[in-house]
Each structure stands twice: as structure tokens, then as C-alpha cells.
A and B are shown apart, each in its own frame.
Chain A
Amino acid sequence: MTRVRLENVTKIYGRVIAVDNVTFEVESGELFTLLGPSGCGKTTTLRIIAGFEVPEHGRVYFDENDVTYLKPYHRNTAMVFQNYALWPHMTVYDNVAYGLRIRKKVLKLTEEDIKKRVREVLELVKLEGLEDRYPLQLSGGQQQRVALARALVVQPSVLLLDEPLSNLDAKLRIEMREEIKRIQKKLGITTIYVTHDQIEAMSISDRIAVMNKGKLLQYGSPREIYFRPRKLFVADFIGRSNIYVGEVTGVEDKYATVYIEELDSHIKGVMVSDEVKSRKKVSVVIRPETVKLVEKSIGKMENLFKGKIDLAMFMGEKIETRVKIANSSMIIYIPNYMVVSPGEEIVFHIPPENTIVIPEITMED
């Protein structure tokens, strides 16, 4: 299996810096996700790894080999394109067999071998029996699986998936992402997965890299990214968050206490870095689902908040509630069995270990 490493990679298109000084390493056998909003440079990064683009700066390594200038057809990566890029004039079988036919001489394959391997891989993606169809005769989900099969059959050293699920309906998307995860783990291929859907990223990845405007902001396990965002953008982009700006009033181990003027209260949270200490203004991120309702009669306690319900929306698995506190408001989730109505007063506790203090006050930093 192959390790993929990007070092200070920058790609410029005319006036746009599509990828800006990106460095990361993908362990062998890992499922690594590039996550970010539209236009942030995910596809471009993937295309650089596949060899369709050459970066203006920086290098790309597969294991220890510098592949920056290696032609795409010598890299042994296999890509699943966003639009699948199935050849409309070839049958499913021919599409899938294409890569093997190219390698026929090198791998000393006979037509029989090819047939066998195509059948195996079609079985893996559950497409047996559709060999003779043309791509246009297939549903979106089937097409996507053909594209996956076409990539897998050549046993690539790196599998590249560019938003492979974006054209599917919600249900199929969930099904297919489980399928991809299953297959990837079974074959143990180093995989780089691109998506702008955070749930998809969380559920499928070993590690996630969050990108914005060409820059790689943070990478780590889904938990790390979710619970310990180091950048305001990451906190905002992943999950729901309430973000407040305040001043640090005290520091204690890994915790900082921050005074937030608009809420007119102090709040304690985990510092993501020591940089917090040296900053005058910092941001505090509160996840709506970490908040816990408590009895009104509870005594004094840190991170305790009181407010009036402004708006309550029943969302099925939870109730999304906007609570008015001082001059501002906060979104919190409360359990779906409760009955709340606007104007009601509630008291809740925000656990400090789930509250994050970030040494930034704008997303631009």
C-alpha cells in the first residue's frame, strides 16, 4: 500500500489560487477525506494527486518517490469522477475491463483472467448481470458503482473519489457510503475522498482535512475535528455552533474563562492552543447539543445560563430552540419528548470540556 504526501503544494489558475500551500500526509490503507465548501480547491488537490494538474509550487510524493511530474498514466491511481465519466459507447463490461486491457501485457493477463477479475469486482459492487448494459441504461446509483468497479479492478495503489455520491438521492447516498467504506476496508486501499457533506465525511473517514479558499485549515480524526476545531472556520463549518467573541479573564490548566459582553456572562471552555493566553479577544464555540437542561432551582455553578425561549422548532429527533440571553441569543437542542413554548424560561449548563476557546475572532485569519 502507498502513502501519499503533499508538500507545500500551490496551484494557480490565472488569478485564482485554487490550492494554497497545502501539506498533508495520507497513511497507507487510510480513508482520508478532503472536506470543504464549494470552490475551496478539493477537486484541484485530487487532480494534482492524480496527475491531471501540476502544482506551481511544492511536491507530491507516493511513498518516498517524487511523482510531481509523473504522467497520470504512470501513477497507478484510480479516480472516480464526480460525474462518473463512464464511456457512453462502451458496455459496463468494457468500461470496467478497460484498465485491465491497458495492463494486459504488463500483467500478462489473458481475456479469461480479465473476465474473471471483472466478474469479481462487479460482484463486489453488487452489479452482477449488468455487464452488457450501456451506461445510459443504468440508474445513478448503478452508474456510480460501475465507476467504482472500473477504478477498483486495476487494484490501484491510491483510490481517488471526487464527490462520488453527490448525484444520488439521500437514501442511496447513505447506502452507498456504507458500501464504499466496506469495500475500502476490505481491500485496504489508500483512499482520498472528496466531499462537501460533513456528515458523509464524519461517517466514512479515518481522518478529515478541512479546506477553505485553497488553504488546508486542520486535519485529524472526525472526533478531533468536531470537538477540537482549531480554526473558527472549522468550528463553524462542521456541525452547528454558537460563536461569541469575548475577552479572556482567567486561565487554569487547559481551560480559559472568557467574558462575553453580549451574553453578559463568563464562560469557561477548553483552549485549543496556548495562543489563547496571548490574545486580547478570542472566540468561544458552543455546540447546541452539548447543552444540558437543569432544574431551575439549582444553585450557583459555572457555565450556568438562564434565558427565555424565543423560538422552538420541532425537528423530529430533537427540538431546536433559540434562547434569548441578555442582548443576544443562543441555539440549543433539547430532547424531543419535552414540550416547550416561546416565552418560557429555562436554565441550562454548558459543560466546559465541550466548549472551545479559539484564538481567532474572524474566519479570515
Chain B
Amino acid sequence: MPRRTGFRHVSLKDLYIAGLVTALIYYLLAPYIEWTTEILIWVLGIVWAFLLFKSGLDYRRILFSFSMSFLAIIGFIYTFFILVLQIRGIPRALALFLLPLLTVAVLGYFKQNIIPTIKIKRLYKIHVPLKRRIKTTLYKLDPIMWFFLIGGSLVLIVFLITPVLLMLLNAFVVPPYVKDIFYNFERIFRPGSRYVRLTPPPGSSLYRFLPLKGGEKLLVITGVNYGILLNSMINAVVVTSVATVLGIIVAFILARYDFPGRTLFRILAMIPLFVTPFVNAYVIRILFGPYGPISAITDALFGWRIEIKSLAGVALAQIMAFYPIVYLNAYSSFINIDPSMEEQAENLGSKGLKLFLTVTLPLALPGIVAGSILVFIFSLEDLGAPIVFQEPNLMSYQIYSGFTTEYGIVSPELAALGFVMLFLAAMGFLAIRSYVGMRSYAMISRGGRWVIRERRLGPLGLAIVYLVLLPLILFTAMPQIGVILLAFNIIPPTGFSLQWDKATPQYFVRLFSDPAVFRYIRNTLMYATIAVVLATTVAIMIAYSVSRTKMKVITPTLDTLATIPLAIPGLVIALGYYYFFLALPNVFKPIPVIGEPLYKLLFPLSPVSGPNTFQAWIILIIAYSIRKLPFVTRSVYAGFQQVHHALEEAALNLGASRSRVIFGVVMPLIFTYILSGAIVGFIYISTEVSTSITIGGLRDDQAPMTFYMMSQYKGGTATGVQVAAAMGVLLILIQLIAILIIVLVFKQRYAFIGV
């Protein structure tokens, strides 16, 4: 209830006015004032919001609104970067516009959560002696629970936290003549550095026309270079936004409208999810090349050809590859909305776009953004597209190339860059995760009929579906289809044409006949298998502890840690592992007696141990199992949640020990969840890129398939591309079989990804 005051009723409109005025003041005064004066404007915005809050502004309008709270979260991140990067002008005015809203959100959060907890703590002063409390906690832990809890935590601490922390630490390593420990960061954030270039180089523009031989014109779309850091951020934001909008539209049509061929559409829409590193981006490059099919169309229509390059190419490739992630999430959100919620709105007279925007979309939003944030992270860390489009002005490319230039030595500046990337990804991830977590209750239905709302399409709708949606879906599936055509030489590696008569399996023959090539396949399969076994074991330990213990701090922390690898870019893991294994052997050296042998044992794990001693495969396996752990954990965890705790207690009650309960009662029940978790893990591991081509790149005879595919591009031989494409087809096959097993054998929906 909004509180009424003596003056008048304050509403969100007042917030917008406050924001608008603050932003305007800033914008008008900006050319004349210094940062010190500008602070006053910020204070104005905050104080204004505070006064509104005090006079009864209903903060719950922000905290409990699906879209407003989302806006607040995004606003925080936005404002933060505007300040850190010292961006001025309109972007800064926008931040000031958001300021009052954010202030009220913070105040509201405080009032809502912090103050009541403090009050309740005071009210209920029930004193439980510490000894008793400890005893109570210990009582809940059987030896096997201990083992799971400690084992799971230990794995994460040693192989996740420590490496990442080491990387962070290295970000603060500065040259001896520098006093400032933020030196590396300052190099990144200083405006005008190659990382942040607020004014792009003169003459650069998003697109331009070039003359071609023969009097034709070529439209080259490149994107503008704002410096490495900003490029990465802009790219990620653009990719995420476009992918989200696209995903929502496709999902909504497929979820809510019935038309002939819908099932086929659904299947086609998933095709881009087949990961074929590098090759798919390469196909996109051909498709959008000056002699590709798109150019043929524009040439016929407008008289010019088109080429999409550099940053624009990266964005395009990522949008096409990642939008199905949003699509899948949005799709299941749409079909999970309790129909009565929409019916109620219709009943009250809402319809069409209004109904969608006011009821359907807000209800689906948590599910959708859970997919969007993954797109954001994937886009940040993606290496495939930048390498194929030869775009070095992205963070991911920088970290990657820093890895491979000077053998064995990674500069601290790279660690700082990794830190920034981690910060971006992890912050977005945690914010979204809490946003989604807060709202998961929204979907609980209170019984009743559950018929998914579906409409038949009218003629216009059908026309849109077949003339717009179908081409769009087909188009986004082109890279994967192209990979197959390329592998069979139906598309030649350069230029573009369909040459059915020249189809040949020769590149597949090479895959299996050339021992050098075959080795990569064997490596991938072996590593993936071992890593999956490890990951599944750890996932079981963690998922069980998390679902069955309710300890303060420890349980939620472990839960977060088990999902956080989703938010840690692979390149950060690669950097972290680099530092970790560099340091590892030396840690044990000073220990008497066992120190020396341990050092000898662990030395081959050090990345500087030499190209023939370095055992990349061990590190790769560990990295794989940690990086893809969340995918396995999620499935296993879902399994444990299916098992009502009473089923376990009934067994404990009859005298079965905890281990007997776990292995005799629970495991058989959730066997399919574990296996499908393992299979999902296998898919992700076998297509992993970041650590494969960095760590793997340090020892190429132990590298996996993805590394080979990458090196074929860099080598640039025409046949190499096609052998890589053949490998891509093999990867598609692996993924397809795995998915079919999950869907057909375990009868589970292949839930792809989510927070």
C-alpha cells in the first residue's frame, strides 16, 4: 500500500522526473564543470530519491516488479562501468537518469530485508548454547556426509578458487619500478589506451562502400573499434540484446501458435546449438562474403555486394550461434506459465500486445534472462568468432594471443584483463541468479486445469510464419548445414558455390587414416570420458550435500560455488590454471623428505617445464571437469530434489546407514538423472574451446580436436579448413547421439542450459 502523506501521492512518475531533471542538469552543465562539481549533481539525484522514499514512494513497485527490478540490476552494472571508465556525455546522463531509481531500490532493499532481520533477531532472543549448537550441526553429518561435504568443497577450493585467486593476485604484479599496485588496471582503464578508446580513430565507421573491380560496389560492414575493453562489452551487450529479442519472438510463436510443421520448426531452431567451433563462424564468413549468397541477393536487388567483417562479423556469428539458448529458455518459460494467469488478464479485458507485455513477458522474464546472461558470458569469452574473423580487438582474443606468443610466459597485464572479464561475467551472473532465484516462486500453480494456451494462426499469421520465421530459422541453421557441406566439399573452402558433383568423403578418410589427425579425436574422447567421470563424482558429492544439509553459510556457498564455473570465462580458468600449475610444484619443494620427490612428480604439470615434459592432458582433464561441472551438477541436483527426503528417512529409520541409503535407495532412483547429467557434460566437454586451445596449445600432441580445428584456420591451408569441417561433422554426430540417448533412452527433456 502506498503511504499517503500530507502533500500528495508520490509515484514512480516522480522518480522519472527526478531522474530526468538530474540528467538534464548534468547534460547542460557538463562542458563547464569538473568532477568535483559533478558530485553535487549525483548527490542531488540521491537526495531527491531519498526524499521521495521518505515521503512514501512505494519501493515495492521496484523490488517486486519483474521488469523494474531487472532494470535496476542492469542499471547498477551500467552505472558502475560508466563511472569506472569515466565515460561522459549522453551515456553518463543516462546513468544519472537511472540514479534515483537505483537509490530507491537500495533503500527499499534495505528496508525490506535488512531491518526486519535485525528486528526479528532482537525479538526472538532464544539463547542456544554454542556447544549445543555445534552438537546439533554435527549430529546431522554422518561420515559419508562429511566426506561429500569436505571432498566437494576441497575440489572446488583447490581447482577453482585457488587458480582464480592466483590469477587475481597476478593482476597486481607490477614492474619493480612501479609503486602503484593498480598499475595493470590503470593501463586497461585509462581512457585513450588501446583498451578504452572513447573517440574511435578518425575515419572509422560502422560501414562504408568500396568500389570493386568491374564497377560494382561493395558494402563493407566492420563495426567501430572503441578499444578492446569497450569492444568486448559493446559486443556482448549487442549480441545478448539481439539474441534475446530474437529468442523471445521465436519461442513465443513456437510455444503459443499452432501451425502445420511446427515440430519441424522446433527441431530446426535447435540446430545452431550444435557446437562446431570455428567452422560455423567460417561458414558465416563465407555466407556474408563478397561472393556469398547474401551478396548475390543484394547485388540483384540493390546493385551492391556485401561483406561483414571484423567486429560486426563476430557479433553476427555469435548472435546466430547463441540465440537458441534464449529461445530454449524462453520457450519453456512460456509453456510453464499458469494459463489461468493470462486468462484472468483476458477476463479483465487485456489482450494482444498489452496482455503479452503486462502479464506474459513479466512472468517469463526470469526464465528468459537466465538464458540471456549465459549468452552474455558466452559472448564475452567466445574465441571462435574472433579468431575466424581475425578480430584482435577483443578481450578474449587478447588473452588468447598473450598465451601463445611467448611460450610459457604470461604477462600480468593479461591477468588484469582476465580479472576484468571475470568481473563482468561473474557480476552479471550473480545479479541475474539472485534475480531469478527471488522470483522462482512465481510459477507455482495452485492446481486446476493446465492446458497450454495455443492459437491457430490466421492467413496473415501463417504468411509471417512461413515467409519470415522459416527463413530466419533456416538461416540460423545455415552454419551447421554449411559445415556438413564444406566437409563433403559441396561448398568449396573459398568463394561460394554449391558443387554437388564434386562431393567427396576424402576429408573423413583423412580424419581416420592420418595418425596425426586421428590422435586429436582420440584425445578428445579420452579426456572427455575421464573428465565426465570426475565431474559426475564431484557433482554427486556436492549436489547431495547441498540438497540434504541446511547449514548456514556453508550450504549456500557450496551451492553458488558449484554453479559459478558457468560465470567464469574459460580463458580465466586457463589463466588461473597457468598460474596455479606454475606455482604448484614449488609449493611442495621446501617440505623436508617428501618435498623433493613431490616436486619431481608435479614438475611436469608446470607450463614452463618444457614442450616435451609438460603434461597438458592432466590439466585439460581437470579444467574440463571443473568448467563443465555446473551442467552435470544441475541434472544430478534435479534428481536429488525429485527424491522426497522422507524416502531416505524411511530407510534411516529402519536402521540403514547413510551410505546404504545413498547407494541403495537414492542412487537407483536417480540413476537416469546422473547419466543424463554425465552425457550433457560429455557434450560440453568434447566441444570445449578456451582451455583446449590455450593450455592445449602448449603441448600440441596432447591437444584435443578443437585445438586442431583452430590450428587449421591459423595454418590457413584450404584443405585444412575442410578437414576441420569434417571434424565439425564428427562433433555434431557426437552431440546428436548424446542428445538422442537422453531423449529416447532416458526419456528426459534435453534441457540445455540455464542459470
Contact = CB atoms under 8 A, between A and B. Distances in A.
Interface of A: 10, 12, 15, 17, 50-52, 54, 56-57, 69, 71-79, 81-83, 85-89, 98-99, 102-103, 150-151, 154
Q: Which of A86, A88, A102, A150 has the most B CB atoms < 10 Å from its CB?
A: A102
Given A50-B653, A81-B646, 18 more contacts: A12-B126, A15-B124, A54-B139, A56-B132, A57-B132, A69-B139, A73-B654, A73-B657, A78-B653, A79-B649, A81-B649, A82-B646, A87-B669, A89-B669, A98-B654, A102-B654, A150-B650, A151-B654
Contacts of A82: 646
B128 interface: yes
Given A69-B139, A85-B650, A17 B655 contact: no
B440 to A, nearest CB: 19
B649 A72 contact: yes
Nearest to B652: A72
B446 interface: no
B669 A102 contact: no
Nearest to A102: B655
B135 interface: yes
Contacts of B652: 51-52, 71-73
Given A56-B128, A57-B128, A76 B650 contact: no
Interface residues of B, number: 28
Nearest to A55: B136
A154 B647 contact: no
B646 A83 contact: yes
B644 interface: yes
Contacts of A99: 654-655
A138 to B, nearest CB: 16
B128 A78 contact: no
B120 A72 contact: no
B216 interface: no
A83 B653 CA distance: 15
Contacts of B458: none
A102 B656 CA distance: 6
A286 B128 CA distance: 42
A72 B126 contact: no
Given A71-B142, A79-B653, A154-B654, A85 B644 contact: yes
B135 A69 contact: yes
Contacts of B142: 71
Interface of B: 120, 124, 126, 128, 132-133, 135-136, 139-140, 142, 644, 646-647, 649-658, 660, 665, 668-669
A74 to B, nearest CB: 8
A56 B133 CA distance: 7
Given A56-B136, A83-B646, A85-B647, A17 B126 contact: yes
B655 A85 contact: no
A102 B652 CA distance: 10
B553 to A, nearest CB: 14
A37 to B, nearest CB: 21
A325 B404 CA distance: 97
B670 to A, nearest CB: 10
Contacts of A73: 652-658
Q: Which of B124, B133, B647 has the most A CB atoms < 10 Å from its CB?
A: B647
B45 to A, nearest CB: 37
A99 B646 CA distance: 15
Interface majority SS (helix, strand, loop, mixed), chain B: helix
Contacts of B135: 54, 69
A86 B647 CA distance: 7
B647 A72 contact: no
Contacts of A150: 650, 654
A103 B655 contact: yes
Given A12-B128, A83-B644, A87-B669, A50 B649 contact: yes
Contact of B656 (A50, A89, A98): A98
A15 B136 CA distance: 17
Nearest to B670: A89
Contacts of A154: 654-655
23 contacts: A12-B126, A15-B124, A17-B126, A50-B649, A51-B652, A52-B649, A56-B126, A56-B132, A71-B139, A71-B652, A72-B649, A73-B653, A74-B655, A77-B653, A78-B653, A78-B654, A79-B653, A82-B646, A88-B669, A89-B669, A98-B656, A102-B654, A150-B654
A82 B656 CA distance: 20
A98 B668 CA distance: 15
B72 to A, nearest CB: 27
A72 B124 contact: no
B369 to A, nearest CB: 29
Nearest to B132: A56
Given A73-B657, A98-B651, A99-B655, A89 B128 contact: no
Contacts of B120: 15
A291 B647 CA distance: 49
Contacts of B656: 73, 98, 102
Q: Which of B124, B650, B653, B655 has the most A CB atoms < 10 Å from its CB?
A: B653
Contacts of B140: 54
B512 to A, nearest CB: 42
B649 A54 contact: no
A20 to B, nearest CB: 10
Contacts of A56: 126, 128, 132-133, 136
B668 A89 contact: yes
B675 to A, nearest CB: 15
A99 B656 CA distance: 8
A56 B644 CA distance: 25
A54 B131 CA distance: 13
A76 B654 CA distance: 7
A310 B468 CA distance: 72
Contacts of A78: 653-654
Contacts of A85: 644, 646-647, 649-650
A82 B646 CA distance: 9
Nearest to A98: B654
B232 to A, nearest CB: 43
Contacts of A88: 669
Contacts of A151: 654
A143 to B, nearest CB: 13
A72 B661 CA distance: 12
A76 B668 contact: no
Nearest to B661: A73
Nearest to B126: A12
B650 to A, nearest CB: 4
A328 to B, nearest CB: 36
Nearest to B648: A85
Contacts of A51: 652
Nearest to B666: A87
Contacts of A76: 655
